[in-house]
Amino acid sequence: MVEALAVQLTQREGELIQEKAEVKKLANFLKQASQDAKKLVDEERAFARAEIENARAAVQRVEEALQEHEKMSRATGKQDLEELMKEVQEARRIIMLHQPSK
């Protein structure tokens, strides 16, 4: 009976050693997966930061273009107003020249 228990104990030790090796392999696999996931997250984070910076730069360019457009519109509008005022003054002068004196 003691021999049977010794054989069972030896078998159980062998199973435990095998399970320990499997657990070690699984732990290494999970550690590698965790490192890979962290690397992937860092890469995606860097990509997202670059995209955000590109978007900010694009917004800045659009804002600058809008400001330039508004500035040009105001300058053009002011020029148009000045030209219109000159035309009105010329028209008044012509009307005054063609009106009979009283």
Rounded Cα–Cα distance for residues 14 and 1 (Å)? 20
Q: Answer whether residue 29 shows pLDDT above 80.
A: yes
| Mean per-residue pLDDT over the chain, rounded | 91
* Structural domain boundaries in the chain: 1-96
The pLDDT tens digits of the residues spanning 33-80 come to 999 999 999 999 999 999 999 999 999 999 999 999 988 888 887 888
Residue 73, Cα to own-chain centre: how many angstroms?
Answer: 32
Residue 5: per-residue pLDDT: 85
Rounded Cα–Cα distance for residues 1 and 3 (Å)? 5
Which tokens sit at 75?
């300058």
Residue 64: per-residue pLDDT: 96
Residue 3: per-residue pLDDT: 87
How far apart, in Å, are the Cα atoms of 60 and each of 53, 66, 72?
A: 10, 10, 18
Q: Answer whether residue 101 shows pLDDT above 80.
A: no
Say if pTM beats, i.e. exceeds, 0.75.
no
Q: What is the mean pLDDT of residues 76-102?
A: 83
